[in-house]
Amino acid sequence: MEPLIHYAPYLGWVYPNETVIEWSVAIVVYPYITGLVAGAFTVSSLYQVFGFQRLKPVAHLALLTSLCFMFFVPLPLLLHLGHPERAFNNLLTPHLTSAMAMFGYFASFYIVLLMVETWFAFRPFIVEQAQRRNGLLGLFYRLLTLGSYDLSEKALRYDKKWIFWLAIAGIPGAHGLHGYVGFVFGSLKAREWWSSDLMPVVFLFSAIISGVALLIVLYVLSCRLRRIPIDLGCVKGLAYTVWAFIMVALVLEGLEFANIIYKGREGVEMIIEYVSGPLLIPYFVLQFAIGAILPLLALSYMIWRGTTGKALITGVTLSACLVLLSVFMMRWNVVIGGQEISKTGKGLLEYQMTIFGQEGLIVAAMLVLAPLVMLVGVTRLFPPWDDAPTPSLVSSR
Protein backbone atom coordinates (compact mmCIF):
# COMPACT_ATOMS: atom_id res chain seq x y z
CA MET A 1 0.00 0.00 0.00
CA GLU A 2 1.36 3.44 -0.94
CA PRO A 3 2.05 5.92 1.91
CA LEU A 4 -1.03 7.97 2.64
CA ILE A 5 0.70 11.36 2.67
CA HIS A 6 4.10 12.63 1.62
CA TYR A 7 5.86 15.27 3.68
CA ALA A 8 8.55 17.80 2.83
CA PRO A 9 11.51 18.84 5.00
CA TYR A 10 10.79 21.82 7.21
CA LEU A 11 14.22 22.73 8.57
CA GLY A 12 17.73 21.31 8.16
CA TRP A 13 18.21 18.18 6.10
CA VAL A 14 16.91 14.62 6.26
CA TYR A 15 17.54 11.38 4.42
CA PRO A 16 15.10 10.31 1.68
CA ASN A 17 13.73 7.48 3.81
CA GLU A 18 12.70 9.96 6.52
CA THR A 19 10.36 12.09 4.44
CA VAL A 20 7.19 10.14 5.30
CA ILE A 21 5.42 10.31 8.65
CA GLU A 22 3.90 6.86 8.97
CA TRP A 23 1.76 7.41 12.07
CA SER A 24 -0.95 9.97 11.36
CA VAL A 25 -3.78 11.55 13.36
CA ALA A 26 -5.49 8.15 13.63
CA ILE A 27 -2.64 6.99 15.85
CA VAL A 28 -3.04 10.18 17.89
CA VAL A 29 -6.67 9.26 18.53
CA TYR A 30 -5.73 5.72 19.55
CA PRO A 31 -3.88 6.57 22.82
CA TYR A 32 -6.38 9.36 23.45
CA ILE A 33 -9.30 6.91 23.49
CA THR A 34 -7.42 4.36 25.60
CA GLY A 35 -6.66 7.13 28.07
CA LEU A 36 -10.34 7.97 28.39
CA VAL A 37 -11.04 4.28 29.04
CA ALA A 38 -8.49 4.08 31.84
CA GLY A 39 -9.50 7.39 33.39
CA ALA A 40 -13.23 6.61 33.39
CA PHE A 41 -12.64 3.21 34.96
CA THR A 42 -10.51 4.88 37.65
CA VAL A 43 -13.52 6.96 38.73
CA SER A 44 -15.70 3.85 38.87
CA SER A 45 -13.08 2.05 40.96
CA LEU A 46 -12.71 4.95 43.38
CA TYR A 47 -16.35 4.33 44.33
CA GLN A 48 -16.63 0.53 43.95
CA VAL A 49 -13.32 -0.34 45.65
CA PHE A 50 -12.28 2.61 47.78
CA GLY A 51 -15.75 3.79 48.80
CA PHE A 52 -15.60 7.41 47.62
CA GLN A 53 -19.29 8.15 48.25
CA ARG A 54 -19.07 11.54 46.56
CA LEU A 55 -18.55 9.79 43.25
CA LYS A 56 -21.61 7.55 43.55
CA PRO A 57 -23.72 9.62 41.06
CA VAL A 58 -21.16 8.97 38.29
CA ALA A 59 -19.95 5.47 39.23
CA HIS A 60 -22.18 3.57 36.79
CA LEU A 61 -21.84 6.28 34.14
CA ALA A 62 -18.06 5.90 34.42
CA LEU A 63 -18.34 2.15 33.93
CA LEU A 64 -20.50 2.51 30.81
CA THR A 65 -18.22 5.24 29.45
CA SER A 66 -15.19 3.01 29.85
CA LEU A 67 -16.98 0.11 28.14
CA CYS A 68 -18.24 2.16 25.17
CA PHE A 69 -14.85 3.74 24.50
CA MET A 70 -13.12 0.38 24.88
CA PHE A 71 -15.11 -1.06 21.98
CA PHE A 72 -13.58 1.58 19.69
CA VAL A 73 -9.98 1.34 20.93
CA PRO A 74 -8.78 -1.07 18.17
CA LEU A 75 -10.52 0.83 15.34
CA PRO A 76 -7.83 3.52 14.74
CA LEU A 77 -5.22 0.78 14.47
CA LEU A 78 -7.35 -1.25 12.07
CA LEU A 79 -7.90 1.80 9.86
CA HIS A 80 -4.16 2.39 9.81
CA LEU A 81 -3.37 -1.15 8.69
CA GLY A 82 -3.19 -1.89 4.99
CA HIS A 83 -4.86 -5.27 5.59
CA PRO A 84 -6.89 -4.99 8.82
CA GLU A 85 -8.08 -8.59 8.49
CA ARG A 86 -4.54 -9.69 9.24
CA ALA A 87 -4.83 -8.24 12.74
CA PHE A 88 -6.28 -11.56 13.87
CA ASN A 89 -2.92 -13.17 13.15
CA ASN A 90 -1.72 -11.21 16.14
CA LEU A 91 -3.91 -13.41 18.33
CA LEU A 92 -3.60 -16.68 16.44
CA THR A 93 0.17 -16.69 15.92
CA PRO A 94 1.57 -14.19 18.45
CA HIS A 95 5.19 -13.28 18.92
CA LEU A 96 5.54 -13.46 22.69
CA THR A 97 8.42 -10.96 22.80
CA SER A 98 6.35 -8.25 21.09
CA ALA A 99 4.54 -5.68 23.24
CA MET A 100 2.06 -5.08 20.42
CA ALA A 101 1.28 -8.79 20.17
CA MET A 102 0.52 -8.98 23.88
CA PHE A 103 -1.84 -6.03 23.62
CA GLY A 104 -4.40 -8.11 21.73
CA TYR A 105 -4.78 -10.51 24.65
CA PHE A 106 -4.65 -7.71 27.17
CA ALA A 107 -7.38 -5.70 25.44
CA SER A 108 -9.57 -8.79 24.98
CA PHE A 109 -9.31 -9.62 28.66
CA TYR A 110 -10.21 -6.08 29.64
CA ILE A 111 -13.26 -5.91 27.36
CA VAL A 112 -14.60 -9.15 28.86
CA LEU A 113 -13.95 -7.84 32.38
CA LEU A 114 -15.83 -4.61 31.66
CA MET A 115 -18.79 -6.50 30.19
CA VAL A 116 -19.03 -8.86 33.16
CA GLU A 117 -18.75 -6.06 35.72
CA THR A 118 -21.36 -4.03 33.84
CA TRP A 119 -23.71 -7.02 33.85
CA PHE A 120 -23.43 -7.43 37.62
CA ALA A 121 -23.83 -3.68 38.18
CA PHE A 122 -27.04 -3.50 36.14
CA ARG A 123 -28.45 -6.97 36.89
CA PRO A 124 -31.27 -5.69 39.17
CA PHE A 125 -32.39 -3.27 36.47
CA ILE A 126 -32.15 -5.97 33.79
CA VAL A 127 -34.33 -8.35 35.84
CA GLU A 128 -36.91 -5.65 36.50
CA GLN A 129 -37.14 -4.75 32.81
CA ALA A 130 -37.34 -8.41 31.80
CA GLN A 131 -40.39 -8.80 34.05
CA ARG A 132 -42.11 -5.60 32.94
CA ARG A 133 -41.47 -5.31 29.21
CA ASN A 134 -42.79 -7.26 26.25
CA GLY A 135 -41.77 -7.47 22.62
CA LEU A 136 -38.21 -7.36 21.30
CA LEU A 137 -36.97 -5.14 24.09
CA GLY A 138 -38.41 -7.49 26.68
CA LEU A 139 -36.79 -10.44 24.92
CA PHE A 140 -33.49 -8.53 24.94
CA TYR A 141 -33.62 -8.04 28.71
CA ARG A 142 -34.76 -11.62 29.33
CA LEU A 143 -31.76 -12.92 27.38
CA LEU A 144 -29.49 -10.71 29.45
CA THR A 145 -30.81 -12.17 32.70
CA LEU A 146 -29.13 -15.48 31.72
CA GLY A 147 -32.07 -17.21 33.41
CA SER A 148 -31.43 -15.65 36.83
CA TYR A 149 -34.28 -13.56 38.29
CA ASP A 150 -33.13 -13.74 41.90
CA LEU A 151 -33.08 -10.30 43.51
CA SER A 152 -33.02 -11.43 47.10
CA GLU A 153 -30.79 -9.66 49.60
CA LYS A 154 -28.37 -12.58 49.51
CA ALA A 155 -28.15 -12.50 45.71
CA LEU A 156 -27.53 -8.74 45.67
CA ARG A 157 -24.75 -9.09 48.25
CA TYR A 158 -23.24 -11.73 46.00
CA ASP A 159 -23.44 -9.31 43.05
CA LYS A 160 -21.68 -6.61 45.05
CA LYS A 161 -18.84 -8.97 45.89
CA TRP A 162 -18.37 -9.75 42.22
CA ILE A 163 -18.40 -6.04 41.35
CA PHE A 164 -15.82 -5.34 44.06
CA TRP A 165 -13.37 -8.04 42.93
CA LEU A 166 -13.86 -7.31 39.26
CA ALA A 167 -13.15 -3.64 39.94
CA ILE A 168 -9.97 -4.62 41.79
CA ALA A 169 -8.88 -6.76 38.85
CA GLY A 170 -9.78 -3.96 36.49
CA ILE A 171 -7.53 -1.39 38.16
CA PRO A 172 -4.26 -2.96 36.92
CA GLY A 173 -6.09 -3.94 33.74
CA ALA A 174 -7.18 -0.39 32.88
CA HIS A 175 -3.91 1.22 33.90
CA GLY A 176 -1.84 -1.48 32.26
CA LEU A 177 -3.84 -1.00 29.07
CA HIS A 178 -2.73 2.59 28.78
CA GLY A 179 0.65 2.14 30.39
CA TYR A 180 1.38 -0.29 27.58
CA VAL A 181 0.91 2.51 25.03
CA GLY A 182 3.48 4.63 26.83
CA PHE A 183 5.74 1.60 27.05
CA VAL A 184 5.63 1.14 23.27
CA PHE A 185 6.65 4.74 22.66
CA GLY A 186 9.21 4.88 25.46
CA SER A 187 10.98 1.73 24.31
CA LEU A 188 11.68 3.07 20.80
CA LYS A 189 15.28 4.23 21.09
CA ALA A 190 15.39 5.47 17.50
CA ARG A 191 13.27 8.50 18.42
CA GLU A 192 14.80 11.08 20.75
CA TRP A 193 11.40 12.50 21.66
CA TRP A 194 10.03 9.08 22.67
CA SER A 195 12.87 7.20 24.30
CA SER A 196 12.16 7.87 27.97
CA ASP A 197 11.63 5.63 30.99
CA LEU A 198 9.00 8.06 32.24
CA MET A 199 6.85 7.78 29.11
CA PRO A 200 4.54 4.98 30.45
CA VAL A 201 3.94 6.86 33.71
CA VAL A 202 3.30 10.16 31.91
CA PHE A 203 0.77 8.45 29.63
CA LEU A 204 -0.92 6.82 32.62
CA PHE A 205 -1.43 9.96 34.71
CA SER A 206 -2.55 12.02 31.73
CA ALA A 207 -5.03 9.23 30.95
CA ILE A 208 -6.52 9.46 34.42
CA ILE A 209 -7.06 13.23 34.25
CA SER A 210 -8.58 12.97 30.76
CA GLY A 211 -11.07 10.29 31.85
CA VAL A 212 -12.09 12.23 34.95
CA ALA A 213 -12.42 15.44 32.91
CA LEU A 214 -14.63 13.66 30.39
CA LEU A 215 -16.91 12.40 33.17
CA ILE A 216 -17.26 15.93 34.55
CA VAL A 217 -18.46 17.17 31.18
CA LEU A 218 -20.76 14.17 30.62
CA TYR A 219 -22.26 14.36 34.11
CA VAL A 220 -22.96 18.10 33.98
CA LEU A 221 -24.35 17.87 30.45
CA SER A 222 -26.56 14.87 31.27
CA CYS A 223 -28.00 16.61 34.32
CA ARG A 224 -28.77 19.71 32.26
CA LEU A 225 -30.47 17.65 29.55
CA ARG A 226 -32.45 15.65 32.11
CA ARG A 227 -33.27 18.84 34.04
CA ILE A 228 -32.27 17.49 37.41
CA PRO A 229 -30.09 19.16 40.07
CA ILE A 230 -26.35 18.63 39.80
CA ASP A 231 -24.77 17.01 42.85
CA LEU A 232 -22.24 19.63 43.96
CA GLY A 233 -20.47 17.12 46.18
CA CYS A 234 -19.88 14.86 43.18
CA VAL A 235 -18.60 17.74 41.03
CA LYS A 236 -16.33 18.84 43.86
CA GLY A 237 -14.99 15.29 44.28
CA LEU A 238 -14.23 15.03 40.57
CA ALA A 239 -12.60 18.47 40.67
CA TYR A 240 -10.33 17.41 43.54
CA THR A 241 -9.37 14.29 41.59
CA VAL A 242 -8.45 16.25 38.45
CA TRP A 243 -6.60 18.86 40.53
CA ALA A 244 -4.47 16.26 42.28
CA PHE A 245 -3.58 14.30 39.16
CA ILE A 246 -2.83 17.45 37.11
CA MET A 247 -0.10 18.38 39.57
CA VAL A 248 1.47 14.93 39.38
CA ALA A 249 1.22 14.85 35.57
CA LEU A 250 2.83 18.29 35.26
CA VAL A 251 5.74 17.24 37.47
CA LEU A 252 6.26 14.02 35.51
CA GLU A 253 6.13 15.73 32.11
CA GLY A 254 8.52 18.40 33.35
CA LEU A 255 10.91 15.75 34.62
CA GLU A 256 10.69 13.89 31.32
CA PHE A 257 11.56 17.00 29.31
CA ALA A 258 14.34 18.01 31.71
CA ASN A 259 15.73 14.48 31.56
CA ILE A 260 16.04 14.64 27.76
CA ILE A 261 17.77 18.00 27.89
CA TYR A 262 20.06 17.13 30.82
CA LYS A 263 21.28 13.92 29.25
CA GLY A 264 22.42 15.88 26.23
CA ARG A 265 22.01 12.93 23.93
CA GLU A 266 22.77 13.09 20.24
CA GLY A 267 20.14 15.20 18.55
CA VAL A 268 19.25 17.25 21.64
CA GLU A 269 20.18 20.50 19.85
CA MET A 270 17.53 19.79 17.24
CA ILE A 271 14.99 19.04 19.99
CA ILE A 272 15.65 22.41 21.62
CA GLU A 273 15.30 24.12 18.26
CA TYR A 274 12.10 22.17 17.65
CA VAL A 275 10.32 22.97 20.93
CA SER A 276 11.32 26.64 20.69
CA GLY A 277 10.13 26.86 17.08
CA PRO A 278 7.45 24.73 15.40
CA LEU A 279 6.36 23.08 18.67
CA LEU A 280 6.16 26.30 20.70
CA ILE A 281 2.39 26.79 20.36
CA PRO A 282 1.14 23.16 20.45
CA TYR A 283 3.53 22.16 23.26
CA PHE A 284 4.11 25.09 25.60
CA VAL A 285 1.00 27.17 24.86
CA LEU A 286 -1.80 24.66 24.18
CA GLN A 287 -0.63 21.61 26.12
CA PHE A 288 0.90 23.28 29.16
CA ALA A 289 -0.19 26.91 29.53
CA ILE A 290 -3.82 26.73 28.40
CA GLY A 291 -4.55 23.02 28.87
CA ALA A 292 -2.82 22.28 32.18
CA ILE A 293 -1.60 25.32 34.12
CA LEU A 294 -4.72 27.44 33.52
CA PRO A 295 -7.19 24.78 34.77
CA LEU A 296 -4.85 23.97 37.67
CA LEU A 297 -4.85 27.63 38.74
CA ALA A 298 -8.62 27.89 38.26
CA LEU A 299 -9.32 24.77 40.31
CA SER A 300 -6.85 25.88 43.00
CA TYR A 301 -8.62 29.25 43.24
CA MET A 302 -12.07 27.66 43.52
CA ILE A 303 -10.86 25.20 46.17
CA TRP A 304 -9.18 28.00 48.13
CA ARG A 305 -12.22 30.29 47.96
CA GLY A 306 -14.68 27.48 48.65
CA THR A 307 -16.61 28.28 45.48
CA THR A 308 -20.00 26.65 45.23
CA GLY A 309 -23.20 26.75 43.19
CA LYS A 310 -23.26 27.70 39.50
CA ALA A 311 -19.81 29.28 39.68
CA LEU A 312 -18.31 25.95 40.80
CA ILE A 313 -20.11 23.97 38.10
CA THR A 314 -19.14 26.42 35.35
CA GLY A 315 -15.53 26.71 36.49
CA VAL A 316 -14.99 22.96 36.90
CA THR A 317 -16.66 22.16 33.56
CA LEU A 318 -14.56 24.70 31.66
CA SER A 319 -11.42 23.43 33.40
CA ALA A 320 -12.35 19.88 32.39
CA CYS A 321 -12.70 20.94 28.74
CA LEU A 322 -9.24 22.54 28.86
CA VAL A 323 -7.81 19.36 30.38
CA LEU A 324 -9.28 17.29 27.54
CA LEU A 325 -7.58 19.66 25.10
CA SER A 326 -4.29 19.39 26.98
CA VAL A 327 -4.27 15.59 26.92
CA PHE A 328 -5.14 15.50 23.23
CA MET A 329 -2.29 17.91 22.50
CA MET A 330 0.02 15.75 24.60
CA ARG A 331 -0.86 12.74 22.43
CA TRP A 332 -0.43 14.87 19.31
CA ASN A 333 2.94 16.22 20.40
CA VAL A 334 4.18 12.74 21.25
CA VAL A 335 2.95 10.87 18.17
CA ILE A 336 3.32 13.56 15.50
CA GLY A 337 6.05 15.55 17.23
CA GLY A 338 8.24 12.51 17.68
CA GLN A 339 8.11 11.83 13.95
CA GLU A 340 8.72 15.44 12.90
CA ILE A 341 12.22 15.18 14.37
CA SER A 342 14.41 13.24 11.96
CA LYS A 343 16.06 10.10 13.29
CA THR A 344 19.47 11.60 12.51
CA GLY A 345 18.65 14.74 14.49
CA LYS A 346 19.75 16.92 11.58
CA GLY A 347 16.44 18.23 10.35
CA LEU A 348 12.70 18.57 10.90
CA LEU A 349 9.64 17.50 8.96
CA GLU A 350 6.28 19.21 8.67
CA TYR A 351 3.12 17.13 9.09
CA GLN A 352 0.36 18.00 6.62
CA MET A 353 -2.90 16.55 7.87
CA THR A 354 -5.54 15.65 5.30
CA ILE A 355 -9.25 16.30 5.77
CA PHE A 356 -10.60 13.25 3.96
CA GLY A 357 -9.37 9.68 3.69
CA GLN A 358 -9.28 6.79 6.12
CA GLU A 359 -6.71 8.59 8.28
CA GLY A 360 -7.93 12.14 7.77
CA LEU A 361 -9.35 14.71 10.17
CA ILE A 362 -13.00 13.79 9.56
CA VAL A 363 -12.44 10.10 10.30
CA ALA A 364 -10.39 10.97 13.39
CA ALA A 365 -13.22 13.17 14.70
CA MET A 366 -15.72 10.38 14.02
CA LEU A 367 -13.53 7.95 15.98
CA VAL A 368 -13.79 10.22 19.03
CA LEU A 369 -17.50 10.94 18.62
CA ALA A 370 -18.59 7.36 17.86
CA PRO A 371 -18.14 6.10 21.47
CA LEU A 372 -20.18 9.08 22.71
CA VAL A 373 -23.00 8.21 20.30
CA MET A 374 -22.87 4.62 21.49
CA LEU A 375 -22.91 5.83 25.11
CA VAL A 376 -26.13 7.76 24.47
CA GLY A 377 -27.79 4.59 23.19
CA VAL A 378 -26.43 2.40 25.99
CA THR A 379 -27.60 4.80 28.71
CA ARG A 380 -31.12 4.49 27.33
CA LEU A 381 -30.96 0.73 27.71
CA PHE A 382 -29.14 0.81 31.06
CA PRO A 383 -29.75 4.12 32.88
CA PRO A 384 -26.65 4.79 35.01
CA TRP A 385 -28.14 7.68 36.93
CA ASP A 386 -28.18 7.58 40.70
CA ASP A 387 -31.81 8.72 40.70
CA ALA A 388 -32.97 5.94 38.36
CA PRO A 389 -35.70 3.67 39.81
CA THR A 390 -34.45 0.39 41.19
CA PRO A 391 -36.40 -2.82 41.70
CA SER A 392 -37.37 -4.06 45.11
CA LEU A 393 -34.58 -5.79 47.00
CA VAL A 394 -36.89 -8.49 48.32
CA SER A 395 -38.38 -9.85 45.10
CA SER A 396 -37.23 -13.29 44.07
CA ARG A 397 -38.27 -15.55 41.24
Summarize pLDDT for 147-162 with one digit per residue, the tens: 888 888 888 999 999 9
In angstroms, rounded to a whole number, what is the distance separating the alpha carbons of residues 18 and 343? 8
Tell whether 3 is covered by a domain. Answer: no
Tell whether 387 is covered by a domain. Answer: no
Tell whether 4 is covered by a domain. Answer: no
Burial of 203 (0-12, 13-18, 19+ CB in 10 A): buried
Average pLDDT value for the chain = 83
pTM of the shown model: 0.87
pLDDT reading at 267 higher than 60: no
User: Percent of the chain beyond pLDDT 70?
Assistant: 87
Number of structural domains found in the chain: 1
For residues 151 and 172, is the Cβ–Cβ distance under 8 A?
Answer: no
Summarize pLDDT for 345-371 with one digit per residue, the tens: 666 777 778 888 788 889 889 999 999
What is the arithmetic mean of pLDDT over 305-318? 92
pLDDT of residue 397: 37
Tell whether 389 is covered by a domain. Answer: no
Summarize pLDDT for 177-201 with one digit per residue, the tens: 777 788 888 777 767 777 777 888 8
CB burial of 378-391 (b: ≥16 within 10 Å; e: otherwise) equals bbeebbbbeeeeeb
pLDDT reading at 2 higher than 50: no
Tell whether 386 is covered by a domain. Answer: no
Tell whether 58 is covered by a domain. Answer: yes
pLDDT of residue 295: 94
pLDDT of residue 101: 73
54-58, 85-89, 358-362, 387-391: which is most confident = 54-58
What is the arithmetic mean of pLDDT over 311-323? 94
pLDDT of residue 394: 36
Those residues with Cβ within 8 angstroms of residue 170's Cβ, 6 or more apart along the chain or in another chain? 41, 45, 110, 113, 114, 117
Residue 24 — pLDDT band, cuts 50, 70, 90?
confident
In angstroms, rounded to a whole number, what is the distance separating the alpha carbons of residues 277 and 257? 16
pLDDT of residue 395: 39
Residue 49 is part of a domain; what is its CATH number?
A: 1.20.1630.10
Domain range for 320: 9-381
Tell whether 391 is covered by a domain. Answer: no
Tell whether 288 is covered by a domain. Answer: yes
pLDDT of residue 388: 55
